[in-house]
Structure 1
Amino acid sequence: MAFSERIARLKSSLIREILAAAQRPEVMSFAGGLPAEPMLPKVDWAEMPASMGQYGMSEGEPALREAIAAEARKLGVPCDASQVLIVSGSQQTLDLASKLFIDPGTEVLLEAPTYLAALQAFQLFGANCLTVPLGAEGPDVAALRQRLETSKPAFAYLIPTFQNPSGVRYTEARRDEVAAALDEFGVTLIEDEPYRELVFDAGAATPLVSRLKKSSWIYTGTVSKTLLPGLRVGFLIATPDLFPHLLRLKQSADLHTNRIGQWQALQWFGTEAYSGHLAELRDFYRIRRDAMQAQLEEHFGDLADWNIPQGGLFFWLTLKNKIDTRSLLDKALKENVAFMPGEPFFTDPDANPGHLRLNFSHVAPERLGEGLRRLAAVIREAQAAA
């Protein structure tokens, strides 16, 4: 059977495989970015018009596009509703952007580490993924500028606010420096912001796209982390030179995003009820983050280093004694614990051993300690045998 040449580059998603293995109720899963089920809001469908069952506009529901544009402008994103495209989760933005920009060998610029499903999408289309090291304040600017001086990436894909997997939030100064470099070298920016609303302190985080003066950009977000991931409703906002192409690609992919999910998202977006829900969500996750921090200090204090995330859903641990954490998965699952190895978040996994991404939103605080104790024991045993 003759498949397309890109199928040779198609990789399975390790995180999806782990989530499938972790479906048993006895498994304590720190693996996925799953919202806490007690915080999934109760939704009402009674008022939904029957017309929502009909085909809709490829761009998305006009009222939802207006609401998203209004909220984006409050953040400083220069846009109007005509630049908003409703997508099937922000993952679809990455697929559309890949189709727009990437041919085999096309260079793209990423943080190291970066979101593994973005890597999966870009590599599927044959991208040559260049990386810049990510520190506590954001990307290494000297390394970024060196990359831009020696190559011409089609775009830079960045997650400046509570980055996945590291949890890093770029400082305001670093945001200015990164935006200035992209402008100087004329590089398009894809800014991914799924965790923006899950903030646990008063720190600032103005989007990078609001600082760009010359470069084209795509800004993408989702309601998956704040409302219901099952709705599969996300959005992208793009500069006018990019938007028509993205719209046509959307039309060829799935005609339009699920209208029923769009209607439900519109009942929340920009409302007082949504603001109240977000406040409750932040308080809930702050408690879970603090509970995990306390348990990590007890069980991982001698094993790993980490920073306390100021938002998002993850802790990013670096083992003091590096081993390939992918080798720990089966042993951890036998102990009814799931976690996400850190290696797949790098373009060269084998060269970057010794990291773990741990989600703190999903496991109840009273089970956290036992799960982390078991995981720490698995790591100690593997290190002793190495």
Structure 2
Amino acid sequence: MAFSERVSRLKSSLIREILAAAQRPEVMSFAGGLPAEAMLPKVDWTDMPASMGQYGMSEGEPALREVLAAEARALGVDCDASQVMVLSGSQQALDLAAKLYIDKGTEIMLEAPTYLAALQIFQLFGAECLSFPLQADGPDLAALRVQLEQHRPVFIYLIPTFQNPSAVRYSETKRDAVAALLDEFGVTLIEDEPYRELNFDGGSATPIVSRLKKASWIYTGTVSKTLLPGLRVGFLISSPDLFPHLLRLKQSADLHTNRVGQWQALQWIGTEKMSNHLAELRDFYRVRRDGFQLALEEHFSDLADWHVPQGGLFFWLTLKQPFDTRTLLKPALEQNVAFMPGEPFFANPDQNVGSLRLNFSHIDPERLHEGLKRLANVIRQAQAAQAA
């Protein structure tokens, strides 16, 4: 078969494979970043105008773009509706950015670890993925500066608020410092914020794009973690110099985002109904996080270290005796437990062994202890076999 050269770089999605295996009802899954079904809101379609079944604008519904721009301005982002594009999920922003910037060998910058699907998209287009380590409050700034001085990447991709997978939230100081570095070196920022609203312990920080003075930027978000992932409605907001190019790429990809989902999102975003829903969501997930933390202390305190996440959907565990957690997938699934190995979240997975991402939002609390107990036992057995 005469496929494109790019297809040789196409890797199957590990998370999709694990989620497929986890569909069996007996499997206790900590793998995906799935919202809890109990918190998916009831939606009403009765007032949707018939015109929503017609083709629409590539940029998105005008009323929805206005609302999204207003929400962003409330966060400190200097923008108007002409800079907003409604997407088929926020992941489409990464696809469009990759098409805009990446040729084979193009250097880009990523956190280590970073969002697995972003890594897959950028590598598919042939990017050379450079990375810098994360600390508890954000990037290792010295390492980031060295990379910027040595390489001059075309863009940097960051998830500064409850990062997936590590749950790190950048401090105000680190956000200011990152913005200053990107302005200094003229590097475009892609800032991904799907978890911003899932904040359990108070405190907030304005987006890094709001602190830029010179560098170009793309800011992206979604309703998948707060409303319904099945709507597949996300958005990007960009600096004016990038928007026309991104719009043409969107037009060539899918004409426009589904208008039915956009209409439903518009019934929620910016409303009191949404504010009440978010408050309930935070309370619900806070309880699940706290229960997960107690269960981890019981079953994993001798095996791993972790920070309690202040938001988002994940715990990030670092094993005290590191080894490749990808080797645990098969024995864990044999014990009807699914999880995400940490290695694939790194641009150089074989050099970053010994971590796990565990989702706390979706599993039934009644099965939580049994699932973590089985996973801990799988790890202990593997460590004992390694030591033998």
Q: Is TM-score (shorter-chain normalized) higher than 0.5?
A: yes
Residue 227 of structure 1 is matched in structure 2 by 227
Mapping 1:140-179, distance limit 5 Å: 140-179=140-179
Is 1:58 the counterpart of 2:63? The answer is no
Mapping 1:1-386, distance limit 5 Å: 1-386=1-386
What value does the CA root-mean-square deviation take over the aligned residues?
A: 0.5
Identity, % of aligned pairs? 80
Q: Is the contact between residue 18 and residue 31 of structure 1 (CA under 8 Å) also seen in structure 2?
A: yes
Secondary structure at the residue paired with 1:3?
coil
Secondary structure at the residue paired with 2:221?
strand
How far is 1:26 from its partner?
1.2
How far is 1:323 from its partner?
1.2
Q: Distance in 1 between matches of 2:175 and 2:136?
A: 13
Query: Which deviations, in whole Å up to 9, do the C-alpha atoms of 1:212-241 show, x marking residues without a partner?
Result: 000000000000000000000000000000
Query: Which deviations, in whole Å up to 9, do the C-alpha atoms of 1:59-111 show, x marking residues without a partner?
Result: 00000000000000000011000000000001100000000000000000000
Q: Distance in 2 between matches of 1:337 and 1:89?
A: 28
How far is 1:124 from its partner?
0.3
Secondary structure at the residue paired with 1:268?
coil
Amino acid at match of 1:144: L
Q: Distance in 2 between matches of 1:151 and 1:26?
A: 48
How far is 1:204 from its partner?
2.1
Query: Which deviations, in whole Å up to 9, do the C-alpha atoms of 1:180-230 show, x marking residues without a partner?
Result: 000000000000000000000121221000000000000000000000000
Q: Distance in 2 between matches of 1:235 and 1:88?
A: 8
How far is 1:348 from its partner?
1.0
Query: Which deviations, in whole Å up to 9, do the C-alpha atoms of 1:148-201 show, x marking residues without a partner?
Result: 111110100000000000000000001001110000000000000000000001
Q: Distance in 1 between matches of 2:317 and 2:204?
A: 24
Q: Which runs of 5+ in 2 are unaligned?
A: none
Taking structure 2 as the reference length, the TM-score comes to 0.99
Secondary structure at the residue paired with 2:180?
helix
How far is 1:366 from its partner?
1.7
When the two structures are aligned, how many residues end up with a matched partner?
Answer: 386
How far is 1:29 from its partner?
0.6
Q: Distance in 2 between matches of 1:183 and 1:155?
A: 12
Query: Which deviations, in whole Å up to 9, do the C-alpha atoms of 1:18-51 show, x marking residues without a partner?
Result: 0011001111110000000000000000000111
Q: Is the contact between residue 218 and residue 238 of structure 1 (CA under 8 Å) also seen in structure 2?
A: yes
Q: Distance in 2 between matches of 1:131 and 1:97?
A: 18
How far is 1:334 from its partner?
1.1
Q: Is the contact between residue 172 and residue 204 of structure 1 (CA under 8 Å) also seen in structure 2?
A: no
